[in-house]
Structure 1
Amino acid sequence: MAARSVGMPRRLVRLCAVIGWIGCGLLLVCWAQLMQWLMPAQVDLQRQKLTRWWLRNLIRILPLRVSVHGTAPGQTALWVSNHVSWLDIVVLGAQAPVHFLSKAEVRNWPVIGWLASAAGTCFIQRGQGTSSTVQDQLNGVLAAGRSLVMFAEGTTTAGDRVRTFRGRLLSAAIEARVPTQPVAVAYRYAGQRDAVAPFIDDDEFSQHLWRLLGSRDIDVEIHFLPLLDSSALNRNQLARSAHASVCQVLGLDDGKSASEPAEVKAAA
């Protein structure tokens, strides 16, 4: 690990830059809330532009080199992605104006929860994924012409496999009559699966961030795979098709790893 680590001065500079950039983000949140009161009809578009700008610059601070394969859909779609880390939100949110689906606990996280809420994240209570309230919320986002990102595994993994995609919430794409966009995300270092980026087991955000800031550049691959016609498939067929596409591009055999399965962490 030492060979891939940067020196302490560089790590501290990165940490100061991240803290400063989070402070900038909080100022933008305050501005967005003010705009919500003054010009509610225009605030969502402006908020999405600011969110992408903020995330793109955050990527420049973090030790990440992002390469994109394929093109993000120019139309409203339900993005269905594998989930490795909280970094998935950063790198995917920088690609297009999207909203994220997250567990309700994130709303109460210091700073991060405020930023996520201001960016238009849809929060759901674990165990209530089939409730009409959640379904109506998702349908409303898609029907309003806003793309939504869903981490369909429901957990993070070490990137060595893709767990089964849950089909329950994919029915939102069918009801809103929008296509499903499978997305594959991979983190690599020196051509191998990276061990620093995954946010798994009992990891804690600040500790994970500190390790990340001490790493040399990690290569992030984002693959936008062919769109799936949601009107031609039921929710379980959509889940299986998206899962198969993601597994194939990541070089995994139906999501099974050749190594021992890693423990997983509840999805952010």
Structure 2
Amino acid sequence: MFSVLSAAVRLLLYVLWTLLMLPVYCTALATKTGYRKISCFYWRMTADHVLRMKVVVRGNIAPQRPLLCVANHVSYLDIIALGSFVEGSFVAKAEVRGWFGFGFLARLARTVFINRRQSAAARSRDQITDALRRGEPLILFPEGTSSDGNRVLPFRSSLFNVAEQEVDGQPVTVQPISIAYTRHWGVPMGYGLRPLYAWYGDMDLASHLWEVLVEGGFTVEIDLLEPMTLAQCGDRKALARQCEAAVRRGMNGALTGHPVTLSTETGE
């Protein structure tokens, strides 16, 4: 009963927190002054105090620009975890635009919405290229869907086509990022408990979010891995394979307690 009451209070506080931050963020966005830092602060406070999510970050965002970050996808919670420290934008499927609440926040965060149909591949590439010109990291989930949190699904090489061309005369640097849900109230989560935080298949968003609020107390480990370029890999498909392999190593390392990246920054 207490956990349900606590979840309800935190949900109410989240609504009030969002209403408080909205005019601050919109003003910063309109004047283009510090809106990314405000966005990170918003998601960091949401993670810490609403979801009771601990984010552990190892490694650093690559300094090269244009920069495309590619990560495995477990849940909508990934966006909050990454958004708490990456001053950049996300690439999302077009359907997200219409999601209640999340769609509105995604539009405010300058998310790039793409159509996943093969016939729209060229249009999607152009949208991503335009976003990269802003000079901010752009985060893409190349699995094209989310998993149960215990494995990395195959990366779709078609989503790497933006790396085949230069942006304003500069090659696109691609940085793999692994995301792993590792602990529940400080205890190793295990294979069976991890899907509690994963959102995949035909799960209902509202009921899943409520369950996460009630449970709380989980840890997400993020490894920022070695960046690469298409020229180093040979072609788009090889780039996708190497990024997928790097992300799989990073995720497996975090899940087994043997992270591949040593330097650590912990979000409390």
TM-score range, shorter chain: 0.7 to 0.9
- Structure 2 counterpart of 1:222, which letter? I
Task: State the secondary structure of the residue aligned to 2:226.
Answer: coil
Partner of 1:71: 60
Partner of 1:195: 195
- Structure 1 counterpart of 2:178, which letter? A
Within the alignment, does 1:248 sit opposite 2:245 as a pair?
no
Partner of 1:222: 222
Partner of 1:165: 155
Task: State the secondary structure of the residue aligned to 1:156.
Answer: coil
CA 1:113–1:132 in structure 2 vs 1: closer, same or farther (change >3 Å)? same
**Offset, 1:115:** 1.1
CA 1:235–1:129 in structure 2 vs 1: closer, same or farther (change >3 Å)? farther
- Structure 1 counterpart of 2:9, which letter? V
Q: Distance between the aligned counterparts of 1:7 and 1:109, measured in 2?
A: 27
Partner of 2:212: 212
Q: Distance between the aligned counterparts of 1:12 and 1:225, measured in 2?
A: 37
Map 1:15-30 → 2, pairs under 5 A: 15-28=11-24, 30=26
Task: State the secondary structure of the residue aligned to 2:196.
Answer: coil
CA 1:24–1:106 in structure 2 vs 1: closer, same or farther (change >3 Å)? farther
Q: Distance between the aligned counterparts of 1:32 and 1:69, measured in 2?
A: 29
Within the alignment, does 1:82 sit opposite 2:79 as a pair?
no
**Offset, 1:97:** 1.2
Superposed CA deviations along residues 15-39 of structure 1, whole A, max 9, x for unmatched, are 2222222323443454356x2xxx4
Q: Distance between the aligned counterparts of 1:184 and 1:168, measured in 2?
A: 20
Task: State the secondary structure of the residue aligned to 1:231.
Answer: helix
Q: Distance between the aligned counterparts of 1:27 and 1:71, measured in 2?
A: 31
- Structure 2 counterpart of 1:195, which letter? P
Partner of 1:54: 42
Residue number among 106, 121, 139 corresponding to 1:116 in the alignment: 106
- Structure 1 counterpart of 2:53, which letter? L
Task: State the secondary structure of the residue aligned to 1:251.
Answer: helix
- Structure 2 counterpart of 1:199, which letter? W
Task: State the secondary structure of the residue aligned to 2:228.
Answer: coil
Partner of 1:178: 172
CA 1:27–1:205 in structure 2 vs 1: closer, same or farther (change >3 Å)? farther
Q: Distance between the aligned counterparts of 1:129 and 1:122, measured in 2?
A: 18
Partner of 2:262: none
Q: Distance between the aligned counterparts of 1:79 and 1:119, measured in 2?
A: 16
Partner of 2:4: 8
Q: Distance between the aligned counterparts of 2:197 and 2:119, measured in 1?
A: 28
Partner of 2:263: none
CA 1:214–1:235 in structure 2 vs 1: closer, same or farther (change >3 Å)? same
CA contact (8 A) 1:63 1:212 kept: no
Q: Distance between the aligned counterparts of 1:157 and 1:54, measured in 2?
A: 26
CA contact (8 A) 2:68 2:137 kept: yes
Q: Distance between the aligned counterparts of 1:140 and 1:91, measured in 2?
A: 25
Q: Distance between the aligned counterparts of 2:209 and 2:218, measured in 1?
A: 13
Superposed CA deviations along residues 202-233 of structure 1, whole A, max 9, x for unmatched, are 22222111101111410110011111123323
- What is the root-mean-square deviation in Å for CA atoms of aligned residues? 2.1
Per the normalisation by structure 2, the TM-score is 0.82
Superposed CA deviations along residues 105-152 of structure 1, whole A, max 9, x for unmatched, are 111222221111111100012314753222111112223312110101
CA contact (8 A) 2:177 2:225 kept: yes
